[in-house]
Amino acid sequence: MILHFVNLQKFFWLKRLISIIGTTGIGKTRLAIDLAKHLDTEIISCDSRQFYKEMKIGTAMPTDEELAEAKHHFVGNISIDDYYSIGQFEVDALEKLEEIFSGNDVAVMVGGSGMYEKAVVEGMNDLPEADENNQQKLLSIWENDGFEALQKLLEELDPDYFSIVDKDNPRRLLRAIDIIWQTGKTYTENLSLPKPQRNFETIRIGINAPRETIYERINLRVDKMMDKGLLEEAKGLIAARDKVALQTVGYSELFRYFDGEWDLDFAIEEIKKNSRRYAKRQITWNKKLENVNWVNYNNSLQEALSLLEKSSDSQIGI
């Protein structure tokens, strides 16, 4: 039986953040909206690709109907022309949480970008800002030797971080190598340094599914994106294809189709393959997180609500 809001509200004596994690296409958005409606609260998005207003279809941004069901923050809030770091997101998200907590004891956060989720939940280390000289050197390597050279460089410098990072995301690679060069420590070592304490508690809820189910849902999702107009969306962004935000799954493959390098069917299959690879990295990342309370993908709301009811007694996820 579904628990009602009045039954759950009494359990949130302290400020709590419910953070929903899981692989791409597993149903995180739906669960976040349903929980936010039950708890009469708002949603923080920590999906870094959905920040960009020009990339609605390819990032599976919540639809206008979904956005109307519960108030969302950090969805389509910046342009691909803007620079936006994890550190700035941490600051902005914490400020928004303070606003939400001023009128509510609970907030919901959702997204597939593990580093952004972790920045809000656990805090970022006091890492240096980007070094302009390093950035220029890295961009030169990229331009002269190809993106694979950056991937190989990071793998040599920090194999542990390389095993979990989104290897197709240039922003992640550039940032990690820059920090390694500046500090003389691996990015993994930098991330393990003490972090500031949060003034709220977090309950992580992870949506689980068999791997074959995850892959089936990803394949279907890509087909739906194409039906919704992903090809046209990507075509309209060709002039901006060199922007870091567009060096990502769903767009880079279609740009190669527009270049005549691939035919459309092959490009679509590559989107599906790279999305599945991304999901595998998400699985690896999520397995290393602490205090994750897993719910089944086909009964996620019921199990999540039951989980929250029990949390008052068992203090799970805290």
Domains of the chain by range and CATH?
12-124+195-314 (3.40.50.300), 132-191 (1.10.20.140)
90: Cβ–Cβ under 8 A, 6 or more apart, which residues?
119, 120, 123, 124
Which residues, in sequence order, are CB contacts of 228 under 8 Å at separation 6+? 57
Please report the pLDDT score of residue 206 as a whole number: 98
Per-residue model confidence (pLDDT) at position 13: 57
* Residue-averaged pLDDT of the chain: 91
pLDDT of residue 192: 79
Provide DSSP, 215-274: HHHHHHHHHHHHHHTHHHHHHTTGGGTTSGGGSSTTTHHHHHHHTTSS-HHHHHHHHHHH
For position 284, what pLDDT does the model report?
Answer: 92
Average pLDDT rounded to a whole number, residues 289-302:
95
- What are the DSSP calls for 9-27, one per residue? GGG-SS-EEEEEE--TTSS
Residue 5 has pLDDT above 50, yes or no: no
154 CB burial (10 A radius; 0-12, 13-18, 19+): buried
Provide the pLDDT confidence category of residue 214 given band limits of 50, 70 and 90.
very high
Sorting pLDDT into bands at 50, 70 and 90, what band is 59?
very high
Q: Which of 228, 248, 227 is nearest to 237 (CA)?
A: 248
Q: Which positions make up the binding site for ATP?
A: 22-29
Residue spans of beta strands (DSSP E) within the chain? 16-21, 43-45, 72-73, 106-110, 201-208, 292-296
Using one digit for the tens of pLDDT, what is the confidence trace for 106-160?
Answer: 999 999 999 999 999 988 777 788 888 998 999 999 989 998 999 999 999 999 9
pLDDT tier, 313 (very low <50, low <70, confident <90, very high otherwise): low
Per-residue pLDDT averaged across 281-307, rounded? 94
Instruction: Round to whole Å and give the CA distance between 237 and 159.
Output: 34
Q: Is the pLDDT of residue 312 over 60?
A: no
Q: Which residues are annotated as a binding site for substrate?
A: 24-29
pLDDT score recorded for residue 171: 81
32 vs 1 pLDDT, higher one: 32
pLDDT at 10: 45
| Residue range 62-81, pLDDT digits in tens | 999 999 999 999 999 999 99
317: tokens are 């996820």
**Global pTM?**
0.80
Detail the residues annotated as belonging to a binding site.
Answer: 22-29
At residue 256, the pLDDT reads 97
Per-residue pLDDT at 2: 42
Section 7-34 average pLDDT: 84
In this predicted structure, the answer to whether residue 316 has a pLDDT above a threshold of 70 is: no
Q: Does 50 score more than 60 pLDDT? A: yes
- Please check the confidence at residue 237 and state whether its pLDDT lies above 80: yes
Gap between the terminal Cα atoms of the chain: 25
Higher pLDDT among residues 5 and 102, named by residue: 102
CB 158 within 8 A of CB 180: yes
